Structure formats: structure tokens, C-alpha cells
């Protein structure tokens, strides 16, 4: 009988402890709701990126169009989209989707290209560790070199075989 009472006390203490923990904490899977920008503000952010001047003087839109013209089978630019921080829900970037290779399924788009933005919608400096974005920021020639490198690494790792993408 003593063992039964001790087990009940431990179980009760555990249940109370878990209830207290649960009531004072946020579950790990609860993320803040995105603070979605108004459509007009999102459009301004995207336009700021499209018209942003790269190091060679061309705009981002011009660099992407040049890359598509020069490497039509290797590169295709996609849509621009505002990115939101998963931890805070705040808008923080403009992402540019793109495809490498000629097999261009919607789910195959690359997602490592874009610009960080200030809260008031200004384009921020590109960190050098973000290689694809840094190449875009470098201008037309730098971006073409990055496309060529990515294409060969992704689609043609073995030059003797047909392209994978």
C-alpha cells in the first residue's frame, strides 16, 4: 500500500509540474504569424531590387535578362518574392527564384538568390558568403561565371555523360 501511495504522489507531482511548464511556455512548433506587408509595399520592395544597380552599373533585372539571353539552356530567372523571417514574422528579404539547366519543373527552382532588405525597404549590402547573390551583385560577367560554375557542378559533374538537368 505504501508503494502505491508513493507512486500516486510522484505521478501527481509530475502531472502538476508538466501542467505548470505547459502553461508558462510556448510550444516549439508555434511560430509567429508573418507580419505581411501590404501588396503595394511588397511591390515597392521588389521594384527596389529589380532596379538596384550592380557593380558594373547594370540593374538586377538587366543582369538577369542578360544571363537568360547568353545562357538560354543553362539559366532561367523566375519570380521575385518577399521573404519573411520564420522566428519573428517580419519581412526581411526579396528572393529571386531561378532554374539551372533545361529541365525546369516548378519544384526544381533554386532559392539561394536574393537581397536582404531594411525595414523601410532599402536594399542592404550582400554578404560575401552568399555566393550566388554576391555574383549577381558583381554584375553581368560575374553572374555568368557563377551560372556556368553552378551548371557544371549541378548538371554536368561528369562531362562524358549527358546533362542531368
Percent of the chain with pLDDT over 90: 65
Cell 508503494, located at residue: 3
- Residue pair 116/93 in contact (Cβ under 8 Å)? The answer is yes
- Residue pair 72/127 in contact (Cβ under 8 Å)? The answer is no
H helix or E strand, kind and range, residue 95: strand 91-100
Which residues neighbour 140 within 8 Å (Cβ) at sequence distance 6 or greater?
A: 54, 56, 58, 62, 63, 66, 67
Average pLDDT value over all residues in the chain = 84
pLDDT > 80? residue 1: no
Residue among 121, 136, 147, 127 at smallest CA distance from 55:
136
Rounded to whole angstroms, the Cα distance separating 114 from 123 reads 10
pLDDT of residue 29: 54
Amino acid at each position: 500500500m505504501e508503494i502505491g501511495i508513493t507512486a500516486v504522489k510522484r505521478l501527481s507531482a509530475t502531472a502538476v509540474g508538466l501542467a505548470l511548464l505547459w502553461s508558462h511556455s510556448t510550444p516549439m512548433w508555434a511560430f509567429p504569424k508573418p507580419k505581411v506587408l501590404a501588396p503595394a509595399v511588397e511591390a515597392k520592395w521588389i521594384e527596389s531590387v529589380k532596379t538596384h544597380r550592380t557593380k558594373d552599373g547594370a540593374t538586377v533585372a538587366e543582369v538577369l535578362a542578360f544571363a537568360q539571353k547568353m545562357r538560354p539552356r543553362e539559366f532561367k530567372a523566375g519570380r521575385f518574392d518577399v521573404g519573411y523571417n520564420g522566428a519573428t514574422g517580419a519581412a526581411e528579404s526579396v528572393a529571386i527564384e531561378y532554374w539551372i539547366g533545361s529541365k525546369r519543373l516548378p519544384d526544381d527552382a533554386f532559392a539561394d538568390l536574393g537581397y536582404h532588405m531594411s525595414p523601410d525597404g532599402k536594399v542592404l549590402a550582400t554578404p560575401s558568403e552568399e555566393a550566388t547573390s554576391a555574383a549577381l551583385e558583381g554584375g553581368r560577367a560575374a553572374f555568368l561565371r557563377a551560372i556556368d560554375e553552378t551548371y557544371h557542378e549541378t548538371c554536368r559533374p561528369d562531362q562524358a555523360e549527358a546533362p542531368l538537368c
